[in-house]
Amino acid sequence: PILPEGDKNVTLTATFSKGSGTPQSKSFELTLTAVSFDWQGSGTPDKPFLVTSAAHLDDVRNQMFAGYDYVYFRQTADIDLGAYPNWKPIGYDSDSKRYIPFIAKYDGGGYKISNLTINSSEQDLTYIGLFGILGTDYDYELTGHLKNIKLENAGITTNLHRIKVES
C-alpha cells in the first residue's frame, strides 16, 4: 500500500530463544519509503485517468476531486488487492471517520478486481464495499457513476447489524 503522508520510521523487535534458553531481543530501525507514481491521463472524458494497479485504485480516493466538474477513471488491467488485507471503501476518510461521496466516473473496462477483503467491526463503516457511497445532486440524480467492474474472490466480514448490498 502507498504511504500517502510520506516516509515512516518504524522499529521492529525480534525476540528469539534456543531451546529453553533465555529469550534475546534485537531491534531494527527501518524507514518505509512513500511510493510515488504518475497518473496517465488528465481525468477528462477523452483522457481519463488510467487505473493500472492496486496502488492506482487505492489512490482514486485522492484523485476524485482533481479540479474538474467530474473526474473520469478507466481501469486498463486486472487488479489484485491481495496486498490490502482490510480495504477501506473509496470515499471513506479514516481521519475524520466520514464518507465523502464519490462524484466521479469509474469505468472498469471489463477488467477484474480480485481479492477485495474487508474485515470490519468499526461502527463508523456504514457503507462497506469497493466504493463507499455515490454522490447525488440536489435533485437526487446520481453524480457518481460506476460501470464495467468485475469483482472476483471478494470477501466482506462484519459484525454490523444493518447491511445493504447493491450492485
Q: How many CA atoms lie within 13 A of 82 on its CB side?
A: 6
Q: Encode the chain (167 residues) as per-residue pLDDT tens digits.
A: 444 455 677 787 878 777 777 888 888 887 766 566 678 998 899 999 999 999 999 999 888 776 656 789 999 999 999 988 888 888 877 777 777 888 889 999 999 999 999 887 665 566 778 888 887 777 777 778 899 999 999 988 776 655 555 54
Distance CA 79, CA 145 (A): 19
User: In sequence order, which residues have a C-beta less than 8 Å from that of residue 3 and are 6 or more positions away?
Assistant: 32, 33, 34, 35
Q: Per the confidence metrics, is the pTM higher than 0.75?
A: no
Q: 13: buried, middle or exposed (CB in 10 Å: 19+, 13-18, 0-12)?
A: exposed
Q: 75: buried, middle or exposed (CB in 10 Å: 19+, 13-18, 0-12)?
A: buried
